[in-house]
Structure 1
Amino acid sequence: MRGFVDSLLDLVLPATCAGCDEPAARALCDPCLAALDRARPRATRPDPAPDRMPPTYALAAYAGVLQRAVVQFKEENRHELAGALGGLLGRVVDRAVAGAGAPAVAGAGAPVVLVPVPSTAAAVRRRHGDHMLRLARAAARGRPGVAIARPLRALPRRDDSAELTAAERAAAARDAFAVRLGETAALRARIERDGAVVVVLDDIVTTGVTLTAAARRLEEAGVLVHRAAVLAATQRRRGRSPAHPPAVVGRALGPRRAAVRTVAG
């Protein structure tokens, strides 16, 4: 009977923390949660950045606790992380809308519309749902005046983006999205009627080509993108780094341990 109960609990509760791989009864242990809570969203921009890339904000660098949690959520189908990661993304949205160092957006109290970068149909099947839509819903939860729109749809990808050069990624990104006419018209009407602020959401920014392509496609359809918000910004190992590197939250010390700390970026 004891073995049956333990097996049942293993199905219901995560066996390890997604941030440090230590045994835990929750998706993220208390130290990892505390480290993520201490992270302060800030502006980030790849160097070089694509032309017309929207002002972008990130919670932290794509490393340590945050990297592990994003990978576990996105690629290991740990959907229970959506609430925690989405809440953190909501904080990035708050900072992005109010943030300095970028052109001013609508006045305080203006409604905010979150536009998650869509996943391809193949990715949705592989991940048992659209991971960015999950994060967007969690980011909007408990934030009055924040809504979600889905004016974009992802077109099938012809190549694995991991195998493409930066120039090839930019070219592929330009043809990665199409607009949903009805959703786009409704979003345009909301902007005109209410002065809504549009924020494009993604999980990670590397070269900025995906965010830029999404923003351009919307702008071609008459929807101005004011900001972009992501959970993490990569710190490129070769070539130039982000112009404003965010902090690193936690660094792995081994296969089963991680130091949970914030390193100023």
Structure 2
Amino acid sequence: KLYCEVDGNKVCSGNGRCLPMWRLAEELDDNGDVGYYKYGAATQNPGDTWDREMIFGCHCDARDSNQPHMGPVDYISGVFVDNPNIGGYTGYNCARRTCPVGNDPLNAGVNEIQTIRCNGTTTNFTITFRQQTTAAISHNASTTDVAAALEKLSTIGQVEVTFSKGSNTACNATYNLTQGIHVEFMSELGSVPLMTTKPEYNVTETVKGTRTVAECASRGYCDYESGQCKCLAGFTSSAGNNSIGNRRDCGKIDKVGYTLNPYYEP
């Protein structure tokens, strides 16, 4: 068997779990959504699955790169837990800290916008995004109510919510296929997975997100010992859209150095 690296008495540098191939496959995600991959039993297809328990690898204690890099929540070993605002671990032996990701400020890009066609007028509903589900939302909820429910999820940092047709309520029986609750993802960059709802309403990608998801926003380098970005001169921490924020990602242009960046690298 090919086992994980052991340093002294620490497997995976003490920052992860040593798992067989079939378990690692189950831990893979598709753009932040997990549970898409099954390795298969050795008896089902022995020619392809013979190594299911012969080769092991480290599954690091680390939030996924698609998770928001702000706030007190971290995704560790498949469980969301309270954790300081610092990245998890990465690398084949889980020895490196992960750094924040952000949008390259020299790439304009646009935020992802999804539309929920909520045409039920008597039923409460829930929204699920990357394995996290909101509390029940009233059919006559306001934009503020919907945004607040979404922002309580561990997988969402900040959203902006609007309704079609000047509606005052989340659900409207007259919504057509392109109308409804418009959710703009402000902190989750790039093209993100579609939300789902219960009851099941039509959800569409109205605007495909094109902001980059790059380590230190491609304008700094990662200190793998601390998990902090060292920004190049002229760049500082952003909110993901070239504005001042606490992502610690080097994603804001700061040519004159007016904003404070505790990790600024002169």
Larger relative strand fraction: 2
Larger Cα-atom Rg? 2
Larger relative helix fraction: 1
Normalising by structure 1, report the TM-score: 0.23
Normalising by structure 2, report the TM-score: 0.23
